[in-house]
């Protein structure tokens, strides 16, 4: 597996662990169905929280959260709609981003951005 794939998978796992410490229930990590993919699907306070995880070893090029473009957000929104339909979930849905940036010592700083984008985004 390429190094960037390892970094991404490690970031998803760290983000899921972070969410657990914040009182979320993690339903799925790296959920896939057909052309759809979601990094993390969690639940808290009657809200389904779809989390896009962006992990970077440095922010020389851009901050991790800046990698969630309008087109990427649209794909996440479509995937979330498929997830809700597949499991027939009656919850409100929120879209968050968790940005992880290497601290250079084997750890990461975590920035959780609730309501990073909304399903009305076009």
CATH number at residue 110: 3.40.1350.10
Q: Evaluate whether residue 122 is within a structural domain.
A: no
Residue 88: its pLDDT value, please?
A: 95
Work out the end-to-end distance of the chain between its first and last CA atoms, rounded to an integer number of angstroms. Answer: 34
Q: What global pTM score does this model have?
A: 0.88
> Does 14 map to a domain?
yes
| Mean per-residue pLDDT over the chain, rounded | 87
DSSP3 helix / strand / coil % (the chain, rounded to 5): 35, 40, 25
Percent of the chain with pLDDT over 90: 65
Residue 4 predicted with pLDDT over 60: no
pLDDT at 82: 96
Domain boundaries, position 58: 3-117
**Helix (H), strand (E) counts: the chain:** 2, 5
CA dist., res. 52 & res. 88, Å (int): 21
**Total structural domains within the chain:** 1
Q: Residue 47: inside a domain, yes or no?
A: yes
What does the alpha-carbon distance between residue 53 and residue 67 come to, in Å, rounded to a whole number? 10
The Cα-based distances of 120 to 50, 70, 115 in angstroms read 15, 11, 12
Does some domain include residue 33?
Answer: yes
How confident is the model at residue 104, as a pLDDT? Answer: 75
Q: Strand, coil or helix: what is 68?
A: coil
Question: What is the C-alpha separation between 68 and 76, in angstroms, rounded?
Answer: 10
Classify residue 64: in a domain, yes or no: yes
Per residue in 47-103, pLDDT (tens digit) is: 999 999 998 776 555 565 777 888 999 999 999 999 999 999 999 999 999 999 877
In a domain, 30, yes or no: yes
Flag whether 53 is in a domain: yes
DSSP conformation class of 61: S
């Amino acid at each position: 597996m390429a190094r960037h794939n390892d970094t991404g998978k490690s970031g998803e796992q760290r983000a899921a662990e972070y969410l657990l410490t914040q009182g979320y229930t993690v339903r799925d990590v790296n959920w896939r169905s057909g052309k759809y993919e979601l990094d993390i699907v969690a639940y808290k306070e009657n809200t389904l929280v779809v989390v896009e995880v962006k992990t970077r070893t440095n922010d020389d090029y851009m901050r991790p959260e800046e990698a969630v473009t309008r087109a990427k957000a649209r794909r996440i929104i479509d995937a979330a709609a498929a997830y809700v339909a597949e499991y027939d979930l009656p919850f409100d849905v929120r879209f968050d981003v968790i940005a992880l940036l290497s601290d250079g010592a084997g750890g990461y700083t975590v920035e959780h951005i609730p309501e990073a984008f909304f399903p009305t985004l076009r």
